[in-house]
Chains A and B, each alone.
Chain A
Amino acid sequence: MNGFLAILQRDLRLALRQGADSVMVVAFFIVTTTLFPFGVGPEANILARIASGVIWVSALLAAMLSLERVFQTDYEDGTLELLTLSPVSLELLVLGKVLAHWLTTGLPLIIAAPLMAVMLNMDQDGFITLITAMLLGTPALSLIGAIGAALILGARRGGVLVSLLVLPLYIPVLIFGAGAVEAALLGISATAQLQIMAAILLLALTATPFATAHAVRQAME
């Protein structure tokens, strides 16, 4: 457990000192979301109709954009090698790194999401559900994305590649995340969708650290 906290603390400190990364992710999210009104027109009704989907798709893209740096810098400067060799289990360390990634990208996205929802004229009934769904969904995105980030270590054109690998895996989160908000907007209970999202998160939490750690070890060979 100490190892988990140590790596979490260090990654957070690194993110804080190199603050630009988190800010960039949020900025990307906001800019992408802003593009949609230009594409579909400024009519309030249409925007309100597509708001939940737009926010989720933009959040997905923003989260994916930041994936590459989960392991890449540590891989390049030899830190990852030493982490693999440390007496703490690599699965735990991976989990710590993913948590740090979520705290520095997922969480800011959740804070920015209601703002964008207001700008897209989303009905206020959906706000609580949107935030709950994102709280359940974005950690799953970080966990699943970490597998992709580990698999591409040492590959050419890693950044583009990781999106190709990870986006199909994100589809369930997108479907249920947007579905939950839509249900709430229609006045139906979104419990079913949220429960499925919680299930996806739990599954990701238990299964992905092993896959990611395996991929990291492979990259060290």
Chain B
Amino acid sequence: MADFSGSDLTCLRGERLVFGGLSFTAKSGDAVMLRGRNGAGKSSLLRLMAGLLSPRSGNLCWNGENIADDRNAHQTRTQYLGHQDAIKPVLSVRDNLRLWGQLRGVRDLDAAIDHALDALDIHHLSRVNGRYLSSGQKRRTALARVLIGPSDLWLLDEPTVGLDRESCAELTQLIAAFRARGGIVIYSTHTDLDIESPSILDLDEFAIPMIEWLAEHSELEDEQADTQASLTSKEAAQ
């Protein structure tokens, strides 16, 4: 029984505060849907979970162990799908996928790729070069990558971009099968994916007005009297 949790996460991008004090837990078989307006930090949170970013404060834990302590283990169990599809125009779909299987040390790679291509219904494209794919086909190739090799955690950032309704249904099925095997799926989406009973993480709830956060972290000093006047109610935090 796996357990993925985050506590008191604060994320700064550049000099902008994205969210603060965010906590969540997910257990085997769970699906977590990230919701929030533009800039609420859905992508940032997924990148934090993948280990591409490190949180300004707070911890991410897998079965109680901080993921930063054993990055290799976390990267082995995690499949991340970002905004970009990472498809090389001059390589065939199969060759594109092969690299990721090799990096994961997948045995019997060709069979694994065949299986993934079948699951996303793009087996007929396996010899086609990346440059001839439509954006939906590229997205499906990127999704096929997620299926290659064993994993326990899927982090999907807008997986449905460019997908038609049929592909969305396939994706739903794949996610359901993955959950049934005990996997955890965390995803963000703008279109409605028909996922069974996801828990919803609304990032808007964790948006802290930046001024409050600044006050709490004493980046604003006492000499700024005019600012202080407006902050008196929050001064206790200092």
| A-binding segment of B98-106, B177-185, B194-202, B228-236 | B98-106
A81 to B53, CA, bound (A): 11
In B47-61, which residues have CB < 8 Å from any A CB? 50-54
Q: Is there an interface contact between A79 and B88, defined as CB atoms closer than 8 Å? A: yes
A85 to B82, CA, bound (A): 11
Identify the interface centre among A17, A81, A87: most chain B CB within 10 Å of its CB: A87
Q: Is there an interface contact between B99 and A81, defined as CB atoms closer than 8 Å? A: no
Q: Is there an interface contact between B103 and A3, defined as CB atoms closer than 8 Å? A: yes
- Chain B residues with Cβ below 8 Å from A84 are 52
In A57-109, which residues have CB < 8 Å from any B CB? 77-79, 81-89, 93
- Chain A residues with Cβ below 8 Å from B32 are none
In A92-128, which residues have CB < 8 Å from any B CB? 93
Asked whether any CB of chain A lies closer than 8 Å to the CB of B187, the reply is: no
Q: Is there an interface contact between B83 and A86, defined as CB atoms closer than 8 Å? A: no
- Chain A residues with Cβ below 8 Å from B51 are 85
Asked whether any CB of chain A lies closer than 8 Å to the CB of B75, the reply is: yes
* Shortest Cβ gap from A53 to chain B (Å): 38
Given contacts A2-B102, A6-B103, A87-B104, contact A82 B91 (CB under 8 A): no
- The contact size tier of chain B is 20 to 34
- Chain B residues with Cβ below 8 Å from A3 are 102-103, 105
* Shortest Cβ gap from A5 to chain B (Å): 8
- Chain A residues with Cβ below 8 Å from B91 are 10, 13-14, 17
Q: Is there an interface contact between A86 and B100, defined as CB atoms closer than 8 Å? A: yes
- Cβ proximity bits B104-127 to A, threshold 8 Å, 1 near / 0 not: 110000000000000000000000
Please give me the residue from chain A that is nearest to B78 by CB atom: A85
Given contacts A78-B85, A221-B52, contact A18 B102 (CB under 8 A): no
Asked whether any CB of chain B lies closer than 8 Å to the CB of A169, the reply is: no
Q: Is there an interface contact between B83 and A78, defined as CB atoms closer than 8 Å? A: yes
* Shortest Cβ gap from B79 to chain A (Å): 9
Q: Is there an interface contact between A78 and B103, defined as CB atoms closer than 8 Å? A: no
Partner of A77, one of B75, B85, B95, B102: B85
In B134-190, which residues have CB < 8 Å from any A CB? none
Q: Is there an interface contact between B86 and A77, defined as CB atoms closer than 8 Å? A: yes
* Shortest Cβ gap from A2 to chain B (Å): 6
- Cβ proximity bits B205-228 to A, threshold 8 Å, 1 near / 0 not: 000000000000000000000000
Asked whether any CB of chain A lies closer than 8 Å to the CB of B76, the reply is: yes
Please give me the residue from chain A that is nearest to B145 by CB atom: A82
Asked whether any CB of chain B lies closer than 8 Å to the CB of A192, the reply is: no
Given contacts A2-B105, A81-B82, contact A10 B99 (CB under 8 A): yes
Given contacts A2-B105, A87-B72, contact A77 B52 (CB under 8 A): no
Given contacts A3-B103, A87-B75, A87-B104, contact A82 B95 (CB under 8 A): no
Given contacts A13-B95, A87-B72, contact A81 B86 (CB under 8 A): yes
- Chain B residues with Cβ below 8 Å from A79 are 86, 88
Q: Is there an interface contact between A86 and B104, defined as CB atoms closer than 8 Å? A: yes
Given contacts A85-B51, A221-B52, contact A78 B78 (CB under 8 A): no
* Shortest Cβ gap from A56 to chain B (Å): 33
Q: Is there an interface contact between B90 and A17, defined as CB atoms closer than 8 Å? A: yes
Interface CB pairs A-B, < 8 A, 6: A2-B105, A17-B91, A77-B86, A85-B80, A87-B104, A221-B54
